Structure 1
């Protein structure tokens, strides 16, 4: 038995009219709930329906995606990254080789490093750590064939010894040689 049957039609309409905006009758079990609670539940239901619709659309979009195309794209990107890494490592190795070669040519006292580098067989020179393998033999060959490319090694002249005259011990040799001291002695 619900609330309408208990109260009768006329009394039930009066109660509903008096309750107005404040309350809403739930007819299935005869209970009354506040209207704001009812509206909150309706809003929750509406939001949940929107979420279900959104998820359904996302699932449909995922069904349309070609998995093979994605796998191919991933493979292409991995290959591109690998190539970029290899190019970068090659560039770094070439740069290290060039710096080591420049330092070695400077150490060998080459007057014109560009000209000497042009005469070298760079393919047979290998960089091993900080050393260039095969460079010394080629530099010796170039020194014999084109000695003008290298600075001549001159034996260093011995540094002359400059000795000041006078008494190296700093003592006087029997006389007063300091003219300032002699004049100062006159005034004392």
Structure 2
């Protein structure tokens, strides 16, 4: 979600409030960048370990002095390795799917997009060719069944202001007692 100072000012925020919004947003972005960098370092480390292990397996397989028993053990290790690699790929795909859904939920008009995730069956959601989740049907169903999860849509109806805004004046000015006004009306 990209936004600018002008958009915030158009929403009625002052320049100081807009700066505060950007400061808070910057803190969130820095935290996310830090997590991403840590994840990238872990991923790179694991990739290096994986490449080293693959190279060692190939070397052992090619070694002519390896006995038949050792070759069987190596083949079993290779099969286990292939299974773990497939499981890791499936887990990565699932994590990417969950992250894509979480990101798409932030664009909905939900009060708390993180809490909305509890209502979504991740396995039932399909991703399009761009990697974006197809959430329209699920979100519409949630809006019908649990409308309290979403911000009320503005239907153009006026929003009456029953109580005047702000606090009453401290000196009593402008705070007319309606009963006293009626009594004063009889005295005239």
Instruction: With the length of structure 2 as denominator, give the TM-score of the two structures.
Output: 0.43
Structure with more of its chain in strand, by fraction: 1
Rg larger in 1 or in 2? 1
Instruction: With the length of structure 1 as denominator, give the TM-score of the two structures.
Output: 0.43
Q: Taking CA–CA contacts closer than 8 Å with sequence separation of 6 or more, which of the two structures ends up with the larger relative contact order?
A: 2
